Amino acid sequence: MKKFLLFILLSLVFLLTLSNISHAFSLITDDTELNWYFVNRESGKTPEAPKESIDFLREYDAYYVGDTDSKVLYLTFDQGYENGNTNKILDILKEEKVPAAFFVVKPYIKTEKNIVKRMVEEGHLVCNHSSHHPSMATILDNEKFSKEFTEVEEEFKTLTGIDMPKYFRPPMGKYSKNSLKKTKALGYKTIFWSFAYKDWLVDNQPKEDYAIKKILNGVHPGAIILLHSVSDTNTKILKTVITELRKEGYEFKSLKDLPE
């Protein structure tokens, strides 16, 4: 009798949980602000994308992984501001012949002209991270939305004389179905990530051994890696990480090589 009552109780809890999940998803609209995340599986396996958006990521050219059938990695950096590390990172990438994508905001282009020009000259992609770093999901006015892209494009072209590559990283990982749709309409691919860790707090940097282990254990075939160049730790460990990943059979590719 007790086992039967326990079974009934657990069944009710399960049904209530399903009901709550269903209700939560029913409240999501095309303009609902969502937060990017991924669910890790066992080491070396592709993480799962958010359940609330997995159905429409591909429709709107949104990537969080690349070629998951090959041991390839895509290295990306978010450039909110300069902390004295980017030239050191570029030195390592040049020495190791590794391509990377740097997602920049408009103020970064204005204040770090020489670094941005160096990125381009050395074959890296300098990509769009918005003009003012807002949550794109909250900008419902189409003109304001577009300006977050075009102001960065114009600043970049004024500096370099070339068009900005059409890759966009949503600030703070915030997005909506409509923001992805509008981003695609502007000709962009949205680039999320399948690996990141807490590396951006300049006054609370992770230990080097921890960071190396975290990255090596977190990557998988086709991983889009997000690092922050403000991190002193990332700068110190980057060469080691590249070397160790190559030992494991990985190669680094450009976002230009993402599968269609």
* Catalytically active residues, by annotation: 78, 228
Is the separation of the CB atoms in 116 and 159 below 8 Å?
yes
What's the burial of 83, exposed, middle or buried (CB within 10 Å: 0-12/13-18/19+)? Answer: middle
What CA–CA distance (Å, rounded) separates 31 from 137?
Answer: 7
CA Rg, the chain, in Å? 20
- CA 142 – CA 139 distance, rounded (Å): 8
CB atoms closer than 10 angstroms to residue 37 = 14
Label the pairing between strands 34-35 and 174-175: antiparallel
